[in-house]
Amino acid sequence: MDNMLHISAAPHIHSSHSTRRVMLDVIISLLPAAIAGAIIFGARALLVIGVCVGTAVLSEFLFNVIVKKEQSVDDFSAVVTGLLIALNLPANIPVWQAIVGSVFAIVVVKCFFGGIGKNIVNPAITARVFMLIAFTQMGTAAFPVDAVSSATPLSAGAASTSLLDLFLGNHGGAIGETCTLALIIGGVYLIARRVITWHLPVAFIGTVFLFTLVLVDFNAATALAYTLSGGLFIGAIFMATDYVTSPATWGGQILFGLLAGVITVMIRMFGNYPEGVSFAILLMNILTPYIDIWTSRKIIGGDRK
């Protein structure tokens, strides 16, 4: 029997934490927003979600097969990416565009860099920006995420929609970004499950609100309308908090949130695009390795004498 004993280094027990469990939690946390999207934008929202998730998973599966890598779709991270892309698209997007965006996110942004954990920017955010730029001139569905057929509050100038409608999502926009209530429910779930902490989303959303407040001469209602519009909540809660591309420490996450908030408002107020959340997150993704260095924890007992 002796030669049957397993030998391994300590620790010999492990918590129930796993990448798959994390991804499942994120999927669960996105369901309220997906359901809200289906209610607000109808059955076509479900089609877009199905297409994006299906394409994302299939892309990763096929990529792994082609390059002879160990299969990784069972960690469900491709499902999360597909779901996030779909929730960032308008319900009337042509199916082929949704497919191109999903393939781009998984193959170019994630798999080319080595798969989960190795990508330097968030696949879903990068796909959103890619599509925003690539499909603007297509004329098909008037793609720009924040300028769907019915104008979004941001492009129409915030405050044209009531604050309650902004909170519940009764207005134009991407499938999953309009219902702030559903996004907050998902965020609370993620924090309760300890998948994320409050630091980054609160710093991000808080900065956008306060900075906007200053720029709109302290008109709280207008600042609130800007805060509730566009992709801020879905970006701050679900996309900026992506482990791979956000800082590890709480201090770093707050710094990320602050800077992303400032960039968002700058683009919204002074830039060419009505929406700046995606660009802000993308830029901060790139800065993350440096933030990680600046905000690493103080080593206890590490002072060199």
Residue from 139, 164, 218, 300 in contact with another protein (CB under 8 A): 300
Specify the DSSP class assigned to residue 235: I
Is residue 250 near another protein by the rule CB under 8 A? yes
Window 79 to 118, contacts with another protein (CB under 8 A): 114-118
* Shortest CB 16 distance to another protein, Å: 10
Residue nearer to another protein on the CB measure, 269 or 286: 286
Letter for the amino acid at 117? G
Tokens linked to 12:
């010999």
C-alpha span between 6 and 160 (Å, rounded): 66
Q: Tell me how crowded residue 210 is: count the other CB atoms within 10 A of its CB.
A: 15
* Shortest CB 233 distance to another protein, Å: 22
Is residue 27 near another protein by the rule CB under 8 A? no
Choose the binding region for another protein from 6-14, 30-38, 205-213, 264-272 (rule: CB under 8 A): 6-14
C-alpha span between 234 and 213 (Å, rounded): 21
The closest alpha carbon to 56, from 92, 103, 111, belongs to 103
Is residue 68 near another protein by the rule CB under 8 A? no
Residue from 9, 68, 164, 217 in contact with another protein (CB under 8 A): 9
Tokens linked to 66:
């082609």
Is residue 22 near another protein by the rule CB under 8 A? yes
Is residue 5 near another protein by the rule CB under 8 A? yes
C-alpha span between 285 and 263 (Å, rounded): 13
Maximal CA-CA distance, the chain: 78
Residue nearer to another protein on the CB measure, 36 or 78: 78
Between CA 28 and CA 116, with CA 58 as vertex, the angle to 5 degrees is 65
Residue from 29, 72, 178, 227 in contact with another protein (CB under 8 A): 72
What radius of gyration, in Å, describes the C-alpha atoms of the chain?
20
Is residue 43 near another protein by the rule CB under 8 A? no
Is residue 297 near another protein by the rule CB under 8 A? yes
**Cα-based distances in Å from 204 to 37, 217, 241, 263:** 23, 20, 10, 10
C-alpha span between 122 and 3 (Å, rounded): 46
Residue from 60, 75, 146, 275 in contact with another protein (CB under 8 A): 75
Residue nearer to another protein on the CB measure, 13 or 43: 13
**Cα-based distances in Å from 25 to 15, 173, 298:** 16, 25, 31
Is residue 21 near another protein by the rule CB under 8 A? yes
Is residue 243 near another protein by the rule CB under 8 A? yes
* Shortest CB 48 distance to another protein, Å: 27
* Shortest CB 204 distance to another protein, Å: 17
What are the residues binding another protein (CB under 8 A)? 1-2, 4-15, 17-19, 21-22, 72, 75, 114-118, 243-245, 247-250, 292, 296-305
